[in-house]
Structure 1
Amino acid sequence: MNFNYAQAMKLISKLVLLFAFFSSVDAAENAVESMVGDVFATVNGEVISTAEFHEFLMTGVRQKFYHGKITAEEQAAFRSEMMQSIVDRVLLLQEARKRGIVVKAISLDNEGAQHVAQLKEDAVLDRFKAIKGEAVRVTTQEVKAYYASNAEKFTRPEQVRVSLILLTVPPYAASETWQNRLVEAETITEKLKRGESFASLAIKHSDHESSKAGGDLGFIHAGMLAADVDQLIKDLSPGENAAPIYLLQGVAVFRLEERVKEKLNSYDVVAPRARDLLLRDRREQAWDKLLVQLRAAADIHVGQ
């Protein structure tokens, strides 16, 4: 492969580094209009014009940097990424043609009709990747080995069953209102200490929808509640009530009903998922390997 990176970076820098001097993507796009007549690269004799690269680049910029601001660090990484991406796209389309992969028809809306050539190429690449993936096979032994070496993917996280009494406070309420609700919550916790039923108190006092079920929120796992609530519950033992805590919605009293430790699901239960995950990984590896082979065998000239 003849890939002149020095020339490539010089040419791409002319395009991408212009972004540093403009406050918006639109301004950068206008600045490169005068450069669209040059040859950007050839891939196995097939020309990629600067106009094509310009369109490819600007599409990528608009998708990734939709806010219109591009830092110097982002420019450096992005220009290399787009250079490789457009060359890879041409290599894959060439290989698809060699293999006779075609898409007979695609459905287009009004907007899509304006980009029919690109959409057809996208469809060909999707079909090519699907065909390549269909050729990948995995054995039961390989799936079992994948399951054994990726236990974290098949482990059910720790779960806790929690109950809640929520005394709501309007977000615009004065601090005095919040203080009064806190006093109410503290009164409830005193009743709990004297042995009154959490469920009964939830039915009577809680403003949360779970009140009808005695405040029972069911089983949840870490991340489903706010971080400070997660930590609060983590420090509780089953059957223990927490001190009142402020939430955005008001003042809350939590109770830990039950804690179920994390558990590795048996292979028989997760075998279909393990097979799907392994196939996904193997298919991506096969696609990446094909790209490496195509790059190594290609005659690529950039910026000549």
Structure 2
Amino acid sequence: MAAGAEGTPTSAPEPLYATVNGKPITQKEFYGAYNGYLRQKFYHGQIPDDQLAPAKKEVSDRLVDRVLLLDEAKRRGLAADEPRIAQTIAEYEARYATSAAWQKSREAMLPGLKQQLTEQDLLRQMEAIGHTIAEPGDEAVREFYKTRIELFTQPEKLRLHTILLKVDPSAPKTVRDAARAEAARIVTNLRADGGKFEELARLHSHDRSAEQGGDMGYLHRGMIPEPVQAQLDQRPLGAVGDAIDVLEGVAIFRLDERVPPQVMAYQDVATRARELLKRDLSNQAWQSFLSGLRKTAVIKLVEQVPPAPAAATK
């Protein structure tokens, strides 16, 4: 603690993470944002070591961009949408009307809440400005369709029949082994007389396709588990594959038809192509807008920042 001019203790300044055009970003702000980012993106557990640096850079960039955007909003003379802010505060008031804690701290919290909502509204306006693009012409849309044809290509489709012997994931190994042995016997019978597949599917399968004789209809590549897809890739039409473990148990598949990838006609996807192009152009405009703000900014990162608190990587 330091003492003020009249002997009143004053708080030590917050350690800095960076300054942007002279405005401070404290280490507390950085690690608060960093922890929130980790909780959102890596909620399942520990962040991989090779993603620590990219995560910190993304959070750092966001904080820097926030300062730059608010500066630009001020330079442009933008005003926050006061009715929108008042409505949001009214909603807070209604939600916490019976909260003793809210009533006690309301007067102290309202100024900070209003400031936060004001900044959020200005950032919303700046994002709308930064994403603004001209409507692309028909030729540009058609060129996008040609150069990104993979976006307008229906993937390969496979028509399959299956027999599923259901095994609960928590079942002991002996239960799965028994299902594997039963599936092997069914495969032997099917290969001896392929005409029995539909009959055996109705008799043994626990898949919802059992009533249709195991007919699963058409499935796109990517909808099929990788081990199953790998097996099917090696099988000719009409062949019955070996029994294979799947999430639901043990399954047998027969490949009935293979429909190759099909490019959709431009006239059938022109509207979608236009929307995808506009999305790409809008994102490019936004990145260019941010880059322009950074070019004229003075951004200083603190050379030595202590490691993140332990909670940040949990």
Q: Classify the TM-score, shorter chain.
A: 0.7 to 0.9
3-state SS in 2 of match to 1:165 = strand
The CA RMSD measured in Å over matched residues stands at: 3.3
Report how many residues are paired. Answer: 266
Specify the alignment match of 2:62 in structure 1: 85
1:161 is displaced (CA, Å) by 0.9
Is 1:48 matched up with 2:17?
Answer: no
Specify the alignment match of 2:145 in structure 1: 147
CA distance in 1 between partners of 2:153 and 2:206 (Å) = 35
Specify the alignment match of 2:186 in structure 1: 185
Specify the alignment match of 1:27 in structure 2: none
Shifted more, 63-72 versus 220-229: the winner is: 63-72
Q: TM-score, normalised by structure 2?
A: 0.71
CA distance in 2 between partners of 1:301 and 1:172 (Å) = 59
CA distance in 2 between partners of 1:172 and 1:81 (Å) = 45
CA distance in 1 between partners of 2:205 and 2:49 (Å) = 53
1:149 is displaced (CA, Å) by 0.7
Specify the alignment match of 2:306 in structure 1: none
1:223 is displaced (CA, Å) by 2.6
CA distance in 2 between partners of 1:270 and 1:141 (Å) = 14
CA distance in 2 between partners of 1:173 and 1:195 (Å) = 30
8 A Cα contact 1:162 1:256, kept in partner: yes
1:145 is displaced (CA, Å) by 0.7
Q: Deviations over 1:107-141 (max 9, x none)?
A: 36569977553343233222321233344321111
Specify the alignment match of 1:5 in structure 2: none
1:238 is displaced (CA, Å) by 2.5
Q: TM-score, normalised by structure 1?
A: 0.73
- 1:127 pairs, out of 125, 128, 138, with 125
The 5 Å alignment of 1:168-207 reads: 168-170=166-168, 171-172=171-172, 174=174, 177-178=178-179, 180-190=181-191, 193-207=192-206
Specify the alignment match of 2:36 in structure 1: 62
8 A Cα contact 2:160 2:253, kept in partner: yes
* Counterparts in 2 of 1:207 and 1:297: CA distance versus 1, 3 Å: closer
3-state SS in 2 of match to 1:196 = helix
8 A Cα contact 1:165 1:205, kept in partner: yes
Structure 2 stretches lacking a partner, 5+ long = 1-10, 97-108, 304-314
Is 1:98 matched up with 2:96?
Answer: no
3-state SS in 1 of match to 2:131 = helix
* Counterparts in 2 of 1:120 and 1:217: CA distance versus 1, 3 Å: farther
8 A Cα contact 1:154 1:270, kept in partner: yes
AA in 2 matched with 1:125? L
AA in 2 matched with 1:196? G
8 A Cα contact 2:132 2:285, kept in partner: no
Shifted more, 169-178 versus 256-265: the winner is: 169-178
Structure 1 stretches lacking a partner, 5+ long = 1-33
Specify the alignment match of 1:211 in structure 2: 210
Q: Deviations over 1:137-172 (max 9, x none)?
A: 211111111111111111111010111112334532
* Counterparts in 2 of 1:296 and 1:182: CA distance versus 1, 3 Å: closer
The 5 Å alignment of 1:131-280 reads: 131-170=129-168, 171-172=171-172, 174=174, 177-178=178-179, 180-190=181-191, 193-280=192-279
Q: Deviations over 1:77-119 (max 9, x none)?
A: 4554444332221111121233325333243656997755334
Specify the alignment match of 2:8 in structure 1: none
8 A Cα contact 1:244 1:252, kept in partner: yes
3-state SS in 2 of match to 1:126 = helix
8 A Cα contact 2:183 2:252, kept in partner: no
* Counterparts in 2 of 1:118 and 1:237: CA distance versus 1, 3 Å: farther
* Counterparts in 2 of 1:229 and 1:76: CA distance versus 1, 3 Å: closer
CA distance in 2 between partners of 1:215 and 1:70 (Å) = 42
Q: Deviations over 1:176-235 (max 9, x none)?
A: 633541354235314xx4352422332223222211111111111223222211111122
3-state SS in 1 of match to 2:195 = coil
Specify the alignment match of 1:15 in structure 2: none
* Counterparts in 2 of 1:60 and 1:92: CA distance versus 1, 3 Å: same
3-state SS in 2 of match to 1:257 = strand
